[in-house]
Amino acid sequence: MQIRTPQRRRARIAALAGSIALLAAACGGSDFDDGDDAADDGAEPTGEAPAEGVELTLMGWSSSPAEDDALNAIISSYNEQSENTVQFNPVPEYDTALQAALAGGTPPDVIYIDSNRLPDLVEAGALAPAEGNVEDDGDFYESLRNTFTYDGTFWCPPKDFSTLALVYNVDMFEEAGLEPPTTWEDLAAAAEALTDGDRVGLAIAPEYPRWGVFMFQAGGAVTNEDVTEMAIDSDANREALGYLEELYANGYAATPTDLDAGWAGEAFGQQRAAMTIEGNWIVGAMNNDFPDVNWAVAELPAGPAGQGTFVFTVCYGVPSASQNPEAAWDLVNYLVSPDSLIEFTGQFPVMPGRESLAGDWTDAHPELGPFLSGADYARPFQFVPGFQAVVDTLNDGIQGIAAGNRDVDEVIRQVDEAGQAELGG
Amino acid sequence: MNSLRARFSTNETLAGWTFALPALIGIAVFLILPIAFTFWISFTDWNGLSPPEQAEYVGMQNYRDLLTDPGVQRIDFATGIRNNLYYVLGVVPAQTTIAFALAVIVNQKFLRGRGFFRTAYYFPSITSSIAISIVFLFLFQRSGVINRLISVLLPGDVRLNWLDNADGIIHNILGWVGVDSAPAALADNDFMGLSLWQWLSGPSVTLFSIMILVTWTTIGTMMLIFLAGLQNIPPDVEEAGVVDGTSALQRFWYITVPLMKSPLFFVLTIGLISTWQVFDQIFVISSGGPQKTTLTPAFLVYREGFRNFSMGRATAIAFLLFLLIIVLTIIQRRIIKPERA
Amino acid sequence: MTVPMQQTPGPDAARRVAGLAPDTRTPTRADERGQPGWYRIGKRLLGYAVLVFFAAMFILPFAMALANSFKSRAEVAASPLTLIPDEPTLRAYEAMTQTAIPRWTLNSIIVTIMVTLGRLFLDSLAGYALSRLDFPGRRAIFALVVGVLAIPPIVLAIPRYLILGQLGMLDTYGGLILPLAVDAFGIFLMKTFFDSIPREMEEAARIDGASIFQTYWRIILPLAAPGLIALTILSFQASWNEFLHPLIAAPSNPDLRTLPVGLATLRGFGGENLDFPLLLGASLLITIPVAIIFFTFQRYFVQGVAASGVKG
């Protein structure tokens, strides 16, 4: 689950949707080239387990029983090999729970942190830095490391990541004699051709964490890369929003609730849509709930400015008020060790944050390659503290555009005003 | 008697305070102190993540953000007020009139099985708001019960997306008579960041569905209050009317209704106070969406405080809401007191 | 199973608190005197039509929920309107055993019972003091009680959370229970109730040498039984259904979730779970305990509500 910014429930519907939990963000458009940070590999390992075992709590959220099982398997092997014992505590309303835990002064030892929440937590002084505490941190994709770096400090290693890709119904495509679309024109044509009666071509939730990919593909974005200035008022964004506006207006695209579904993946699984744009989490949902649907994944079609997608990611953080920091980092290191990551992402098809494991992952999930390819050009879902209100305004506008009751220029103007007030002030 | 009282008085002072003390401590800790705390936090920028004592004093900034400074916060707050205003204007009259009518009918002695009907009407009032919200979520689905019933009763296949439809009802009605966009006078003038046209949107279809839900739930309680009032009317008052030869309708208007003034005002004012606090149903059904049309001040308090890490702003909203409700309560007491004397 | 109020009037004290006149009415047809027969019949038909229509409005949603909880998800999607499932299944109820519903139920029971006991204790003591004992500060205390009646729960949500945090009571049963056990309305209700009990009996007891507490315990409480029952029922209902407080008071310990909070989370983190048979079945389960209490003690419910209606 991701994007637990619950006020945007629609957003969450899709995001959290179903099955996985991954989340958000990886670094804005930067290449996943690695390399220069190899030096970090030498950071001293920390997290020697103390001789006396301590009881640790890992607080996070649960995206699906499948993820819980995969994580619990790793946790039990940790408990076997370590003096410490860990309990995984998945909570709903995670932000509220985290807030309570931190403000109460006795937080859990390790917490999930959505990339989008990192700035708030850092500003509040709630986190202990990961620098020097995480083994082999140079192996993480640079973009992910950047995502979890704020104010020049690396705060927490990524748990895993997911990207958005185009998920399509193979049978429907074959029946219509279509190939997976690679451009906006193809996508619109396929959506039109596959719309039939109760079925639409494309199901996408009306929210920035989905629609944003079209803005990237058109060369636009909400802000500049440093989130210091608004960039919403651009022809690229107008083109992207206009493109989607038309798909919805023609009935070729629809929202999940229009299709009687809780999230877009459900609409796709029920074959009410031929395509959807979702992340790795859809895999578990399809396998569990809709095993009979013949589906496949493709990279998102390229727009006028090329390819673009979101990366969603979560990291394991250690609160600055943790009672057992050494044991906590010991646990974190275990969770993000190559062996654990291979095991976890083998069972549960999110992607490991370590670049060295890309091959292992592809071997384990050859059919899911497009999710990993997206990492090359993906951008994170991450702004600055206080920016949530602006994202909310954009989401409201997007809902209005999808519903056909707001126009693109008006939405852009409103978001721009909201953002100017937030960033300028 | 006086001497007796005097003998007991020392004793009574001790006992009185002893008896009242546990409750007083509770009230102080969980009611008075929190209010003071709210007031203090509302002048800070506390984020809820760090210890509250680290929060910075920001003066009236939170209140300015909500009331005077242009920006998203003010728009959200104004939108919340607008939504809640429509909600109150819809729910309070509906629940009051339907409950009153049902109470009058249930009180008719010539009808049998009144106990059964009273029970049936009251039952929704005792059930969990969360459970009822889920039942309504089911009924109002796009391919759900309500749309299918309407499709049976009316021509055509109705597929209204009740719970995800931001269209304002007044805007829709204006649309039917050809007014699709805002007249310049309404579009160009604004109050608290919302144009007059936006203020006049009416409740969205989604909010309207929630209004139906809440009206449905609360009718039972209101009806019982009216029923108690009706049974307070001595039968001879009505008998006198009968003897005078007035019609049933006249008796209703000139005898029953004036005698019901006190329960009527009571129902209206508790209706007013509770409708300004709507939260549970919105939490379950719409979380403020679509397009902010079910945002209410109470939901904003939760959203800002517990989801957006802005406790300072959330407490400022809570405090403004508190003031509003206090004013409504004072009005209630003013109106009702003379009646009770 | 329903008990019309007129046939079983509660004790006088209860009726007074409830704001009901002593039940002196005899069934009379006075209002129908002199009306033609067709008019009487028409009026009745119309009356029943309205009553039945509204009864259907209030009962059908529950019936629909019940029927659909026994359908498969596919059948719910295809034919939500039918009241008899084509292929009844217990899948939803079996699935519930996989959830934490038993744990939530236990928590709800603990919290509800403790809150109710707490209110009975605190409210009856304080109500008695305010009604019967003459001591300096009484008026001020009563004014305070009336004053805090007006504080809306949503306003208290955040500061209560802060106070619980400061007291280290977040994520504890104490934090779930204590704030709800403090209840100004209950004090008000009990004071009103005690006011309606004649003083003579306790004065006699006092002259006989009974202490204030003995008088309260042996003489007054038994007389106040109807009021205590009304308070019990109102607080049972309120705390069983309470959503906001447990949502905020036990945010990070799932083992402390109560039924309403758990039910809300069954929809998934983003509301993406639309397994309606399960959700509807769970919604009905949560309703059953209150329903049982309601049907058993209906008349006290009615008195409680009526009492709240006259509190002004």
> Within 10 Å of residue A314's Cβ, how many Cβ atoms?
33
Per-residue pLDDT at A328 exceeds 90: yes
Residue closest to A163 by CA, chosen among A408, A407, A380, A393:
A380
| Of B11, B228, B333, Cβ closest to residue C19 | B228
CA-CA distance, B251 to B154, in Å (whole number)? 39
Per-residue pLDDT tens over the stretch A255-280: 998 898 888 999 999 999 999 999 99
Interface contact flag, A17 C271, Cβ < 8 Å: no
From B74's Cα to the closest Cα of chain C, the distance in A is 19
Tell me the one-letter amino acid at B245. G
Rounded to an integer, the average pLDDT of A192-209 is: 94
**Are the beta carbons of C33 and B241 closer than 8 angstroms?**
no
* β-pair type (A253-254, A153-154): unpaired
Q: In sequence order, what are the beta bridge partners of A318?
A: A128
**Are the beta carbons of B253 and B235 closer than 8 angstroms?**
no
Q: How far is CA A236 from the centre of its chain?
A: 23
Name B260's Cβ contacts closer than 8 Å, sequence gap at least 6: B100, B226, B229, B230, B233
> Within 10 Å of residue C83's Cβ, how many Cβ atoms?
10
Interface contact flag, B47 A399, Cβ < 8 Å: no
Least confident of A73-82, B64-73, B198-207, B229-238: B229-238
The chain A residue lying nearest B56, using CA atoms, is A124
Residue closest to C115 by CA, chosen among C189, C194, C173:
C173
The values of phi and psi at residue A285, to 5°, are -65, -45
CA-CA distance, B314 to A95, in Å (whole number)? 15
Which residues in chain A are contacts of C251 at CB distance < 8 A? 91, 93, 96-97, 99-101
Interface contact flag, C272 A6, Cβ < 8 Å: no
From B316's Cα to the closest Cα of chain C, the distance in A is 10
Name A80's Cβ contacts closer than 8 Å, sequence gap at least 6: none
The chain A residue lying nearest B161, using CA atoms, is A258
Per-residue pLDDT tens over the stretch C108-141: 999 999 999 999 999 999 999 998 888 888 888 8
Q: What confidence category does residue A178 fall into, taking pLDDT thresholds of 50, 70 and 90?
A: very high
Spell out the alpha helix ranges (H) of chain B.
2-27, 33-41, 61-67, 72-106, 114-126, 129-139, 145-153, 169-176, 184-188, 196-199, 205-232, 235-244, 248-251, 257-259, 261-275, 280-285, 297-302, 311-340
Q: Which residue carries 């008071």 as its tokens?
A: C249
- CA B60, B61, B62, B63 torsion-angle sign: positive
Interface contact flag, B291 A103, Cβ < 8 Å: no
Interface contact flag, A97 C274, Cβ < 8 Å: no
CA-CA distance, B128 to C283, in Å (whole number)? 8
Rounded to an integer, the average pLDDT of B100-129 is: 88
Element (H, E) at C248: helix C244-249
**Are the beta carbons of C309 and B339 closer than 8 angstroms?**
no
Name C305's Cβ contacts closer than 8 Å, sequence gap at least 6: B122, B221, B224, B225, B228
CA-CA distance, C263 to C257, in Å (whole number)? 9
| Of B116, B276, B333, Cβ closest to residue C2 | B116
Cβ within 8 Å of A, C 22-81: 77
CA-CA distance, B294 to B289, in Å (whole number)? 6
Cβ within 8 Å of A, B 258-317: 286-292, 303, 306-310
The chain C residue lying nearest B114, using CA atoms, is C4
CA-CA distance, A14 to C59, in Å (whole number)? 34
Per-residue pLDDT tens over the stretch A386-414: 888 899 899 999 999 999 888 999 999 99
Is the Cβ of A125 closer than 8 Å to some Cβ of chain B?
A: yes
Interface contact flag, A100 C252, Cβ < 8 Å: yes
The values of phi and psi at residue B192, to 5°, are 50, 40
Interface contact flag, B47 A124, Cβ < 8 Å: yes
pLDDT score recorded for residue C269: 57
Picking from C166, C252, C275, C276 by the largest number of A CB atoms within 10 A of its own CB, the best residue to mutate is C252
The values of phi and psi at residue A177, to 5°, are 65, 40
Picking from A8, A68, A93 by the largest number of C CB atoms within 10 A of its own CB, the best residue to mutate is A93
Chains that touch C (3 or more CB pairs under 8 A): A, B
Chains that touch A (3 or more CB pairs under 8 A): B, C
Interface contact flag, B33 C64, Cβ < 8 Å: no
From B83's Cα to the closest Cα of chain C, the distance in A is 17
| Of A92, A108, A263, Cβ closest to residue C272 | A263
pLDDT score recorded for residue C304: 64
Per-residue pLDDT at A201 exceeds 50: yes
From B55's Cα to the closest Cα of chain A, the distance in A is 10
Q: In sequence order, what are the beta bridge partners of A199?
A: A196
Is the Cβ of B138 closer than 8 Å to some Cβ of chain A?
A: no
Of C255 and B61, the one with more pLDDT? B61
Per-residue pLDDT at A45 exceeds 50: no
Q: In sequence order, what are the beta bridge partners of A253?
A: A202
Which residues in chain C are contacts of A61 at CB distance < 8 A? 269
Interface contact flag, A16 C272, Cβ < 8 Å: yes
Name B3's Cβ contacts closer than 8 Å, sequence gap at least 6: none
Which residues in chain B are contacts of A390 at CB distance < 8 A? 72
The values of phi and psi at residue B278, to 5°, are -60, 125
Q: In sequence order, what are the beta bridge partners of A165?
A: A278
pLDDT score recorded for residue B47: 85
Residue closest to A248 by CA, chosen among A216, A217, A204:
A204
Share of chain B above pLDDT 90, in %: 30
* Cα Rg, chain C, nearest whole Å: 24
Which residues in chain C are contacts of B36 at CB distance < 8 A? 159
DSSP B308: S
The residue count for chain A: 425
From B113's Cα to the closest Cα of chain A, the distance in A is 41
pLDDT score recorded for residue C27: 44
Per-residue pLDDT tens over the stretch C203-246: 787 788 878 888 888 888 888 888 888 888 888 888 999 998 99
Spell out the alpha helix ranges (H) of A234-305.
235-249, 264-269, 282-289
Per-residue pLDDT at A62 exceeds 90: no
pLDDT score recorded for residue C178: 93
Picking from C79, C269, C274 by the largest number of A CB atoms within 10 A of its own CB, the best residue to mutate is C269
Interface contact flag, A266 C165, Cβ < 8 Å: no
Provide the CB-side half-sphere exposure for B21 (13 A, CA): 7
Interface contact flag, C252 A4, Cβ < 8 Å: no
Which residues in chain B are contacts of C276 at CB distance < 8 A? 138
Per-residue pLDDT at A16 exceeds 60: no
Structure tokens at A404: 């056909």
Rounded to an integer, the average pLDDT of A322-333 is: 92
Tell me the one-letter amino acid at B272. L
The chain B residue lying nearest C62, using CA atoms, is B135
Interface contact flag, B287 A7, Cβ < 8 Å: yes
Helix axis angle for A235-249 and A208-217, nearest 10°, is 120
Q: How many residue pairs bridge chain B and chain C with CB atoms within 8 Å of each other?
A: 335
pLDDT score recorded for residue A172: 96
Q: How far is CA A167 from CA A94, A240, A264, A267, C232, in A?
A: 28, 20, 11, 12, 56
pLDDT score recorded for residue C155: 78
Share of chain A above pLDDT 90, in %: 59
Per-residue pLDDT tens over the stretch B286-306: 888 798 999 999 999 999 988
Cβ within 8 Å of B, A 36-75: none
Q: In sequence order, what are the beta bridge partners of B16?
A: none
Q: What confidence category does residue A131 fall into, taking pLDDT thresholds of 50, 70 and 90?
A: confident
| Of A102, A121, A257, Cβ closest to residue B142 | A257
Per-residue pLDDT tens over the stretch A340-359: 999 999 888 899 999 999 99
Is the Cβ of A9 closer than 8 Å to some Cβ of chain B?
A: yes
Q: How far is CA B121 from the centre of its chain?
A: 19
DSSP A90: E
Which residues in chain A are contacts of C247 at CB distance < 8 A? 93, 96
Q: How far is CA A6 from CA A162, A391, B283, B311, C231, in A?
A: 20, 12, 10, 16, 37
Picking from A4, A5, A7 by the largest number of B CB atoms within 10 A of its own CB, the best residue to mutate is A7
| Of B52, B141, B289, Cβ closest to residue A9 | B289
CA-CA distance, C225 to C11, in Å (whole number)? 10
Per-residue pLDDT at C8 exceeds 70: no
CA-CA distance, B134 to B126, in Å (whole number)? 15
* Cα Rg, chain A, nearest whole Å: 21
**Are the beta carbons of A115 and A148 closer than 8 angstroms?**
yes
Per-residue pLDDT tens over the stretch B118-148: 888 988 988 999 999 999 999 998 888 898 8
